[in-house]
Amino acid sequence: MISGKNIIACEQSANGSNTYRTFDPLLNMDNEWQFIEATDSEIDLAVEKAVQAFETYSKKSGSERGVFLNQIADEIEALGDELIAAYCKETGLAEGRAKNERGRTVGQLRMFAKLVVEGSWVQATIDNGQPERQPMAKPDLRKMLFPIGPIVVFGASNFPLAYSTAGGDTASALASGCPVIVKSHPMHAGTGELVASAIVKAVSKTGMPKGVFSNLNSTGHEVGQKLVEHPKVKGVGFTGSIKGGRALYDIAAKRDEPIPVFAEMGSINPVVFLPRALAEKKKEWAKTYAGSITLGTGQFCTNPGLMLALASDDLDEFIALLSKEILDIAPMCMLNPGIKNNYATNKGKMMQQQGLTVVADYSQEVKTNFAQQAVTKVSGAEFLENSTLHQEVFGPFSMIVACKDVHELTLVISTLEGQLTGTVVSVQNEIKDYEKVVTALQSRVGRLIFNGVPTGVQVCAAMMHGGPYPASTDNRFTAVGIHSINRWVRPVSFQDWPNELLPNELKKENPLGIKRNVDGNWM
Ligand code: NAP
């Protein structure tokens, strides 16, 4: 049942007087639940409890943490239809999407459970000592990764389950041994509270310290900002707008002790259509891309917001086909009125830019909170001159840039801000003639896609979900997949340390039987 209360160290708490409700965008009305915003003292308490819990939780074995993560997954599944109903009421998204996202969320938790039970993720590295070495003895050195401390996770509006309360950031931080304080997203606070209640049950059933998890409600920026400013918080995970992510990054950088903010922000995900692919397969690609641009009402960080090609008759025909396909798709509801209004404003601003042609704009009347999809076109020269054209329009919107030659195409790609993905659409061998284009693209993105669409992010070890700024604040790390755990850890070396006092991962006898690097060899 949704109470509207905060959860601090697994206990309900509601000391504040600021209240708010979530919104059903399909019915265009407030939902029945009322949420109570966390107070300053509740924020402090959540952090203090997390600090206390860190002492014991960080020392739990991988097997114990694995049991805990698997239990969270089981408890989320046990929430059943109540969770799906709340998700749909707070997002306007369909039941099928809710169930898919729940599957992804529990799958991520179980993936991290497997990782920490197996144990090699700590990257145990051993250089045995050589006391007899001349002219100086070599000390014995042993290094592995350790959790950094309490982590604040900001729930994302567009993924209430997979990137929110028990989403990838929380799962990876808990797996690493860090306690988590979630700053619940105000537009799906009910979904968040239900998932938080599942974590609370898992904490109790597996005997974890209660301070390992808190879930704080907020309706303005203050709660999130205070959490990031708190001197005992050691890291932040965020998914959302560039404005929000950058504001939090700047706060963290100005602290006496700066901390890392791993923010995954805006991306327009350029797609390069090579000439022969357009000549031979324009119909298929037009249909595929109309689907990708409008998938989830365009509310994905991997939405293809920019399509690049050489100007030609084939490109004009592709544009005509894409326009028809996209206007045939029924408009859909956006997550909340704020996102819908942002979409309308940003789309309107974009369409007023000089030199831009609107090639498709759904002009029939739509229900409140539904988005009217659109595709526009500019020349390469106009795109290079006007940086407003580079900005993300979050929603079912895309822009085609027609370049006069390969040199201009390469220049356009090189001047792009950092992106999560870059796609090349090619007939099989055509791509080999565009080496410079591909090199330019690789320098701007975290994931390269061949003959596909950027929407759809696989959760697996080889996934890179991050890219040069502003796609993310630190492009050395992924926000998806097992390696996202590396955001919450730091290496520590032990020099000539007594064997019995070393962590099990580093002991001479390797009691956990994990894969380690010993004197330069993987064992
Ligand atoms: P958002 O405005 O960035 O908010 C995300 C979270 O950050 C919220 O919990 C919000 O808290 C907090 N926040 C935002 N600005 C903050 C600030 N200056 N200080 C402290 N906390 C701050 O994103 P959103 O609400 O999810 O959606 C708004 C827009 O973000 C969308 O229209 C879209 O343009 C963009 N967006 C992009 C992506 C992407 O993947 N590229 C994903 C989602 C959203 P409060 O609301 O409680 O203040």
* pLDDT number for residue 120: 98
How far is Cα 485 from Cα 109, in angstroms, rounded to an integer?
A: 12
The domain spans of the chain are 6-14+33-120+139-265+475-488, 270-450
The one-letter amino acid at 415: T
What's the mean pLDDT in 33-53? 98
| pLDDT band with cut points at 50, 70 and 90 for residue 187 | very high
Q: Is the CB of 157 under 6 A from ligand 1?
A: yes
How far is Cα 225 from Cα 523, in angstroms, rounded to an integer?
A: 45
Q: Is the CB of 299 under 6 A from ligand 1?
A: no
428 has a pLDDT exceeding 90: no
Detail the DSSP E strand segments found in 279-426: 306-310, 357-361, 374-379, 397-403, 419-425
State CA 189 to chain mean position distance: 18
Residue 12 alpha carbon to ligand 1 centre in Å: 26
Measured by CA distance, the residue closest to atom 43 of ligand 1 is 240
| pLDDT band with cut points at 50, 70 and 90 for residue 325 | very high
Residue 273 alpha carbon to ligand 1 centre in Å: 32
Q: Does domain 6-14+33-120+139-265+475-488 have CATH number 3.20.20.70?
A: no
264 is an active site residue: yes
* pLDDT number for residue 179: 99
Residue 148 sits at φ, ψ, to 5 deg, of -95, -20
Which atom number of ligand 1 is nearest to the Cα of residue 339? 32
Give which of 377, 378, 370, 282 is closest to 329, Cα–Cα: 370
Residue 433 alpha carbon to ligand 1 centre in Å: 41
- Looking at every residue in the chain, the average pLDDT score rounds to 98
Residue 33 sits at φ, ψ, to 5 deg, of -80, 145
Q: Are 450 and 432 in contact (CB under 8 A)?
A: no
Q: Is the CB of 220 under 6 A from ligand 1?
A: yes
* Tokens coding 55: 């002492």
* Tokens coding 277: 């692919």
State CA 415 to chain mean position distance: 24
Residue 6 alpha carbon to ligand 1 centre in Å: 20
Residue 379, classified by CB atoms within 10 Å of its CB into exposed (0-12), middle (13-18) or buried (19+), is: middle
Give which of 6, 172, 166 is closest to 79, Cα–Cα: 166
- Determine how many CB atoms are found less than 10 A away from the CB of residue 370: 18
Q: Are 202 and 212 in contact (CB under 8 A)?
A: no
Q: Is the CB of 449 under 6 A from ligand 1?
A: no
Pocket test for ligand 1, best of 37, 241, 249 (most atoms within 8 A of CB): 241
Q: Are 199 and 177 in contact (CB under 8 A)?
A: no
Which string of DSSP letters, residue by residue, matches 336-357?
-HHHHHHHHHHHHHHHTSTT-E
Which atom number of ligand 1 is nearest to the Cα of residue 245? 3
331 has a pLDDT exceeding 90: yes
Residue 306 alpha carbon to ligand 1 centre in Å: 22
* pLDDT number for residue 351: 97
Helices then strands, counting H and E runs in the chain, come out as 14, 21
Residue 134, classified by CB atoms within 10 Å of its CB into exposed (0-12), middle (13-18) or buried (19+), is: exposed
Residue 301 alpha carbon to ligand 1 centre in Å: 12
What's the mean pLDDT in 267-284? 98
* pLDDT number for residue 266: 85
Q: Are 413 and 419 in contact (CB under 8 A)?
A: no
Q: Is the CB of 342 under 6 A from ligand 1?
A: yes
Give which of 446, 384, 438, 445 is closest to 274, Cα–Cα: 438
Give which of 320, 323, 326 is closest to 298, Cα–Cα: 326
Q: Is the CB of 267 under 6 A from ligand 1?
A: yes
Say what percent of the chain tops pLDDT 90. Answer: 99
* pLDDT number for residue 100: 98
Q: Is the CB of 218 under 6 A from ligand 1?
A: yes
How far is Cα 21 from Cα 379, in angstroms, rounded to an integer?
A: 45
Which string of DSSP letters, residue by residue, matches 135-182?
SSPBPPEEEEEEE-S-EEEEPPTT-TTTTTTTSHHHHHHHHHT--EEE
How far is Cα 467 from Cα 264, in angstroms, rounded to an integer?
A: 9
Q: Which of 75, 90, 264, 417 is catalytic?
A: 264
Give tens-digit pLDDT for 354-365. Answer: 999 999 999 999
Which atom number of ligand 1 is nearest to the Cα of residue 247? 18
Q: Is the CB of 192 under 6 A from ligand 1?
A: no
Which atom number of ligand 1 is nearest to the Cα of residue 221? 48
Give tens-digit pLDDT for 429-481. Answer: 999 999 999 999 999 999 999 999 999 999 999 999 999 999 999 999 999 99
Give which of 267, 289, 271 is closest to 409, Cα–Cα: 271
Residues 6+ apart with CB under 8 A from 284: none
How far is Cα 466 from Cα 419, in angstroms, rounded to an integer?
A: 8
How far is Cα 250 from Cα 255, in angstroms, rounded to an integer?
A: 9
Give which of 251, 208, 221, 218 is closest to 233, Cα–Cα: 251
State the first-to-last Cα distance of the chain, in angstroms, to the nearest integer. 50
| pLDDT band with cut points at 50, 70 and 90 for residue 159 | very high
Give tens-digit pLDDT for 334-374. Answer: 999 999 999 999 999 999 999 999 999 999 999 999 999 99
* Tokens coding 14: 């509601």
How far is Cα 260 from Cα 203, in angstroms, rounded to an integer?
A: 27
Give which of 151, 210, 144, 204 is closest to 178, Cα–Cα: 151
Tokens 């028990």 sit on residue: 166
Judged by DSSP in three states, 52 sits in: helix
Which atom number of ligand 1 is nearest to the Cα of residue 157? 26
Measured by CA distance, the residue closest to atom 35 of ligand 1 is 241
Residue 186 alpha carbon to ligand 1 centre in Å: 10
What's the mean pLDDT in 413-422? 98
Residue 385 alpha carbon to ligand 1 centre in Å: 29
Q: Which of 88, 178, 301, 333 is catalytic?
A: 301
Say what percent of the chain tops pLDDT 70. Answer: 100
Strand pairing of 213-216 and 397-403? unpaired
Measured by CA distance, the residue closest to atom 42 of ligand 1 is 240
pTM assigned to the model? 0.97
Cα–Cα distances in Å, from 337 out to 152, 165, 340, 383?
26, 22, 5, 30
Residue 179 alpha carbon to ligand 1 centre in Å: 23
301 is an active site residue: yes
How far is Cα 319 from Cα 304, in angstroms, rounded to an integer?
A: 15
Pocket test for ligand 1, best of 153, 157, 349, 469 (most atoms within 8 A of CB): 157
Give tens-digit pLDDT for 51-89. Answer: 999 999 999 999 999 999 999 999 999 999 999 999 999
The CATH topology of domain 270-450 is Aldehyde Dehydrogenase; Chain A, domain 2 (3.40.309)
How far is Cα 202 from Cα 81, in angstroms, rounded to an integer?
A: 19
Q: Is the CB of 472 under 6 A from ligand 1?
A: no
Give tens-digit pLDDT for 213-264. Answer: 999 999 999 999 999 999 999 999 999 999 999 999 999 999 999 999 999 9
Residue 213 sits at φ, ψ, to 5 deg, of -145, 135
